[in-house]
């Protein structure tokens, strides 16, 4: 994405003129945005001062030229921040902002207000979070129903997708890294917030899985993107519309519910293992795969060391465990020195219980959110990796549930987590995945890497949760408890039944 002072959209309708005075647009909005953006859950630059923005493009989805009428503005901006860490692209992270513009906003939309610019082309009008306004959400859906270009944007739709018009849109009320709108219980639109040039894996992988007829993942119906900045550049995915699995429950809530009544979860975990293996198999059949040998394994281990070092600098409580944690990464590199190699393929990249949905009727598991870990660069997220990385991430999630749920990490909950992890691995192997219990070096390295990621994630976003990954850090550093047993356990004996449908 190259920086341009103001890339303005034009439409071929006679009544529309592009936003007047665009050069003053960003300077007039900047004081409001530098206040508002850091408070948003999706802002990835927490902990560093936000000093301003560079405008990459401005597109009027609803013309903003008439001071007496409402407008909808899509801005792509680059954040200017102090002391960027090494992972930040040169010049800072880029974000998608959807701004409503209104001469007299209704009081119901007061929580959405960003402010009133003191000058510039929107002077005196109220600028607000467009995704909290049902009418503007409806307009966005209308754009997605009709493929075509609008300025720097391109709206695309699967030819056979049936998207009715007039579906009411509402923002979802869950914690998330992006922003999603549900349309009439039929579709959900995810608006990506931190953006990078290239196809987002949350579009790429579900489309590939739909082509492979894998029904474990909702198939994208439509999406929109920003055109490549120059020749040879890549378009930037900005949003994806997919079917909404109404009435489904997410795995995180189901696991917490089970823990609350001390119920077994092994049947569900085993079925989830099946679903995960099915998705991995389909991804390996449709998208490029590779073999990781000594040089690649050395690079992967070196990156794990780097992430550990960077995290220990940012979160000093990790420091005392560094040396012991390193042994897991060294052991991974050593498998390459021993002449072993590992299959790598496209994977989910950030699999946890909150990324799984179980349907109300058949109890069938689906996987969602293939974006990968939001903090990692897109190119890294799109690289083939060992599928057990997803398995290790899911095992961490069972540990999270047992430690943060109602049972709060008591001995029963920790035993629940152990049995649940084993059941997931058993299900995964039964459905054709590599048995995670047969690759302890990979599992340990990826589980450690994930726990390190979680330490940083929690320190930045939810400091109250830091103790959860830190408990895993202590266990992994002590090296006294494997993530999964060498053998699968016998049937679970906890209270409550769990037939593990789906
Ligand atoms: N297809 C879907 N059907 C039903 N609910 C969904 C669907 N996709 C996402 N959700 C809900 O939206 C939440 C956020 O979606 P997700 O893709 O994880 O967003 P983010 O990447 O921003 O965290 C999920 O936890 C889930 O509750
Ligand atoms: O769902 P996202 O793509 O936004 O993923 C991020 O946020 C997750 C938390 O919402 C975070 O997951 C961590 O907490 C979960 C419990 O809330 C737990 O189940 C996961 O195992 C744990 O990693 C995820 O890491 C982060 O990328």
Confidence (pLDDT) at 490: 34
One domain for residues 253 and 182: no
Reported as a single tens digit per residue, the pLDDT across 309-357 is 999 999 999 999 999 999 999 999 999 999 999 999 999 999 999 999 9
226 and 192 fall within a common domain: yes
Give the largest CA-CA distance in the chain.
72
- 220 and 112 inside one domain: yes
Distance 400 CA to ligand 2 centre (A): 9
Whether residue 186 is contained in a domain is answered as yes
What is the average pLDDT value for the chain, to the nearest integer? 90
CA 92 to centroid of ligand 1, rounded, Å: 27
Q: Find the radius of gyration of the CA atoms of the chain.
A: 24
CA 350 to ligand 2 centroid distance, Å: 8
Please indicate, yes or no, if residue 15 is contained in any of the structural domains: no
User: How many angstroms separate the alpha carbon of residue 177 from the centre of ligand 1?
Assistant: 10
| Strand-pair category, 169-171 with 179-183 | antiparallel
Ligand 1: residue of 180, 216, 242 to mutate (most ligand atoms within 8 A of CB) is 180
pLDDT at 487: 40
189 close to 241: Cβ distance less than 8 angstroms: yes
Atom of ligand 2 nearest to the CA of 450: 23
Distance CA(501)–CA(270), nearest Å, equals 9
Both tokens assigned to 175? 């914690």
Supply the pLDDT for residue 19.
59
Which is the closest atom of ligand 1 to the Cα of 218? 1
Is residue 322 in some structural domain? yes
Of 215, 243, 271, the last residue of a domain is 243
Candidate of 369, 373, 393, 461 to mutate for ligand 1, largest count of ligand atoms within 8 Å of Cβ: 369
pLDDT of residue 23: 83
The protein residue whose alpha carbon is closest to atom 20 in ligand 2 is 397
Atom of ligand 2 nearest to the CA of 404: 16
Please, are residues 425 and 391 in contact by the beta-carbon 8 Å criterion?
yes
* Segments of the chain with pLDDT less than 50: 2-17, 20-21, 486-495
DSSP designation for 131: G
Query: Does 8 fall in a domain?
Result: no
Claim to verify: residue 302 and residue 222 sit in the same structural domain: no
- The residue written with tokens 């999964």 in the block is 484
For residues 202 and 321, state if they share a domain: no
Residues enclosing ligand 1, CB less than 6 A? 172, 174, 176-178, 180, 188, 190, 218, 242, 244-245, 248, 250, 354-355, 357, 368-369, 371
Tokens describing residue 241: 């519309």
Asked if residue 459 and residue 329 are part of one domain, the reply reads yes
Q: Are residues 288 and 353 in the same domain?
A: yes
The first and second tokens of residue 159, run together, are 């030819």
Which of 243, 261, 286 marks a domain boundary?
243
- Residue 9: the pLDDT is 37
What is the rounded CA–CA span in Å between residue 108 and residue 111?
A: 8
Per-position b or e across 419-428, b if 16+ CB within 10 A of its CB: bbbbbbbbbb
Are residues 359 and 414 both part of a single domain? yes
For residue 499, the model assigns a pLDDT of: 65
* Shortest-distance Cα residue to atom 17 of ligand 2: 354
Residue span of the structural domain in which 189 resides: 22-243
Is there a domain that residue 150 lies in?
A: yes
Q: Which atom of ligand 2 is nearest to the CA of 394?
A: 21
3-class SS of residue 266: helix
Q: Which of 201, 351, 354, 471 to mutate to test the pocket of ligand 2 (most atoms within 8 A of CB)?
A: 354
Q: Number of structural domains, the chain?
A: 2
Q: What's the confidence (pLDDT) of residue 98? A: 98
Ligand nearest to the CA of 351: 2
Alpha carbons 266 and 421: distance in angstroms, whole number:
8
In 121-195 the beta strands, taken as DSSP E runs, fall at 126-129, 148-150, 153-157, 169-171, 179-183, 187-191, 194-195
Find the 175 Cα to ligand 2 centroid distance in Å. Answer: 10
Ligand 2 is surrounded, with C-beta below 6 A, by 175-177, 252, 350, 352-354, 369, 373-374, 396-397, 400, 454, 457
Pair (195, 47) in one structural domain: yes
10 belongs to a structural domain: no
> Which atom in ligand 2 lies closest to the alpha carbon of residue 401?
19
Q: 351 CA distance to ligand 2 centroid (A)? A: 8
Instruction: Write the ipTM.
Output: 0.98
Please answer whether residues 437 and 289 qualify as being in contact, where contact means their C-beta atoms are separated by less than 8 angstroms: no
| CB contact at 8 A, 413 and 256 | no
Query: Residue 240: helix, strand or coil by DSSP?
Result: strand
> Do the beta carbons of residue 264 and residue 490 sit within 8 Å?
no
265/232 same-domain check: no
3-class DSSP assignment, residue 493 = coil
Ligand 1 centre to CA of 369 (Å) is 7
184 within some domain: yes
In a domain, 374, yes or no: yes
Q: Which amino acid residue places its CA nearest to atom 21 of ligand 2? A: 397
Span from the CA of 352 to the centroid of ligand 2 (angstroms) = 6
What's the confidence (pLDDT) of residue 491? 33
Q: What CATH number is given to the structural domain containing 439?
A: 3.90.1200.10
Distance 431 CA to ligand 2 centre (A): 25
Is residue 177 located within the same domain as residue 274? no
Same domain, 30 and 89: yes
d(CA 139, CA 477): 52
Nearest Cα to 197, choosing from 232, 224, 235, 227? 235
Quote the pLDDT of residue 492: 35
Closest ligand 1 atom to Cα of 42: 22
């Amino acid at each position: 994405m190259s920086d341009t002072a103001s890339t303005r959209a034009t439409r071929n309708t006679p009544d529309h003129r592009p936003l007047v005075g665009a050069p003053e647009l960003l300077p007039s909005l900047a004081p409001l945005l530098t206040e508002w953006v850091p408070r948003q859950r999706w802002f990835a630059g927490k902990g560093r001062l936000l000093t301003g923005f560079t405008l990459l493009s401005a597109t009027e989805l609803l013309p903003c030229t008439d001071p007496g009428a409402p407008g909808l503005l899509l801005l792509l901006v680059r954040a200017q921040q102090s002391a960027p860490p090494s992972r930040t692209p040169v010049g800072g992270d880029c974000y998608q902002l959807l701004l409503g513009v209104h001469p007299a906003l209704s009081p119901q939309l007061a929580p959405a207000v960003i402010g009133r610019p003191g000058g510039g082309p929107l002077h005196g009008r109220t600028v607000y979070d467009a995704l909290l306004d049902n009418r503007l959400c409806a307009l966005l859906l209308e754009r997605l129903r009709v493929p075509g270009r609008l300025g720097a944007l391109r709206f695309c739709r699967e030819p056979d997708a049936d998207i009715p018009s007039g579906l009411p849109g509402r923002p979802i009320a869950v914690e998330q890294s992006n922003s999603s709108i549900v349309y009439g219980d039929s579709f959900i639109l995810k608006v990506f917030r931190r953006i990078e040039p290239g196809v987002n894996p949350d579009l790429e992988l579900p489309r590939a899985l739909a082509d492979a007829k894998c029904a474990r993942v909702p198939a994208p119906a439509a999406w929109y993107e920003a055109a490549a900045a120059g020749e040879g550049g890549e378009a930037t995915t900005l949003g994806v519309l997919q079917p909404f699995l109404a009435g489904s429950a997410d795995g995180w809530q189901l696991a917490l519910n089970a823990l609350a009544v001390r119920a077994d979860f092994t049947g569900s975990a085993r079925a989830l293992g099946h679903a995960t293996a099915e998705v991995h198999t389909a991804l390996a059949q449709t998208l490029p795969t590779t073999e990781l040998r000594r040089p690649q394994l050395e690079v992967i281990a070196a990156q794990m060391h780097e992430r550990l070092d960077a995290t220990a600098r940012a979160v000093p409580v990790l420091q005392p465990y560094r040396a012991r944690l390193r042994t897991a990464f060294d052991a991974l590199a050593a498998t390459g020195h021993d002449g072993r190699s590992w299959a790598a393929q496209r994977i989910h990249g950030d699999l946890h219980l909150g990324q799984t949905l179980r349907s109300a009727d058949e109890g069938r598991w689906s996987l969602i959110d293939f974006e990968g870990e939001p903090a990692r660069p897109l190119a890294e997220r799109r690289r083939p990796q060992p599928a057990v990385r997803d398995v290790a991430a899911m095992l961490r999630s069972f540990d999270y549930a047992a430690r943060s749920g109602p049972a709060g990490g008591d001995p029963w909950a920790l035993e629940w987590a152990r049995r649940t992890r084993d059941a997931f691995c058993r299900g995964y192997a039964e459905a054709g995945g590599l048995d995670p219990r047969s690759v302890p070096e990979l599992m340990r390295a990826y589980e450690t890497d994930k726990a390190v990621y979680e330490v940083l994630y929690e320190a930045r976003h939810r400091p109250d949760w830091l103790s959860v990954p830190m408990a895993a850090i202590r266990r992994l550093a002590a090296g006294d408890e494997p993530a999964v047993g060498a053998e699968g356990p016998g049937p679970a004996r906890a209270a409550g039944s769990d037939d593990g449908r789906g």
